[in-house]
Amino acid sequence: MTRHKLVALMPMRHSSERVPGKNYRPFGDGRPLFHHMVDVMQSCPQIDKIVIDTDSPDIAAQCAEKYPDVVILDRPEHLLGGMTPMNDVLLHDISEVDSEFYLQTHSTNPLMTVETLNKAIETFFANYPIYDSLFSVTRVQTRFWDSLARAINHNPNILIRTQDLPPFYEENSCVYIFEGKCMKERHNRIGLRPYLFEMERLEAQDIDEEIDFRIADLIFKQTRGA
């Protein structure tokens, strides 16, 4: 069995509750949504192999035609539910394709560029093993309150500018890089010493709902001339 250095994982289900068929829906320049991230990953020289875990015959057929080098894993029935933890899916995937390190992303981040993904990979390996994993984040500087109307990160009596508030970092689900051994031991794609890789908000657009799809599609067309 071939052991790779870095394998990219992109799990996708055929059905989507909030945005029906989003993974293979035309996006931006007309390509199916998931094609955008496959093209980005194929342009990263440090990625040895791309693996798509799916139950979708449409996705499998499109890959066979356009991306024959992409490995398709049929998702087992016990992992098909929408409530299945992503870490369980990833554990199955890494058991099927051996690698020292893995990168996980989503088809729903179609604005992420090759340059950003390459930078994330380079950043991880430049800082490993001081940091044992990496995940992408978006800086947020705004006034947060809890459900009991208590200020979390600011003093309501001293309204400093939001850009001067200490930043919080939102996990944006664009990139995760982790060691296979650590994933098996901890059952978690985030290690004990994760590196927070900051991304520009424009590239970190994630598609969860229909309004997200429309916004990302508009941004793509306006910024990339589609």
How far from 176 is each of 189, 196, 221, CA to CA, in Å?
A: 7, 10, 27
Instruction: Tell me phi and psi for residue 164, to 5 degrees.
Output: -100, -5
For residue 123 the two structure tokens come to 């950043």
Is a pLDDT exceeding 60 seen at residue 1?
no
pLDDT digits (tens, 9 = 90+) for 61-75: 999 999 999 999 999
pLDDT digits (tens, 9 = 90+) for 31-72: 999 999 999 999 999 999 999 999 999 999 999 999 999 999
In angstroms, the CA 8 to CA 103 distance is 5
In angstroms, the CA 40 to CA 112 distance is 8
Residue 163, in any domain of the structure: no
Cβ pair 24, 56 in contact under 8 A: yes
- The HSE-up count of residue 115 (CA atoms within 13 Å, CB side) is 4
Is a pLDDT exceeding 90 seen at residue 226?
no
Residue 156, in any domain of the structure: no
Beta bridge partners of 6: 101
Q: What's this model's pTM, rounded to 2 decimal places?
A: 0.94
Cβ pair 105, 136 in contact under 8 A: no
For residue 199 the two structure tokens come to 């991304």
**Within 10 A of 75 (CB to CB), how many other CB atoms are there?**
21
3-state SS of 121-168 is HHHHHHHCCCCCEEEEEEEECCCCECCCCCECCCCCCCCCCHHHCCCE
Residue 70, in any domain of the structure: yes
Domain that holds residue 126: 4-135+171-224
Supply the angle between the helices 57-66 and 33-42 in degrees, to the nearest 10: 40
Number of domains forming the structure of the chain = 1
Residue 143, in any domain of the structure: no
Cβ pair 182, 133 in contact under 8 A: yes
Domain of 186, CATH number, reads 3.90.550.10
Residue 26, in any domain of the structure: yes
pLDDT digits (tens, 9 = 90+) for 96-130: 999 999 999 999 999 999 999 999 999 999 999 99
Nearest to 12 by CA among 111, 122, 108, 127: 108
- The HSE-up count of residue 190 (CA atoms within 13 Å, CB side) is 11
pLDDT confidence of residue 8 = 98
Percent of the chain with pLDDT over 90: 90
Residue 157, in any domain of the structure: no
Residue 140, in any domain of the structure: no
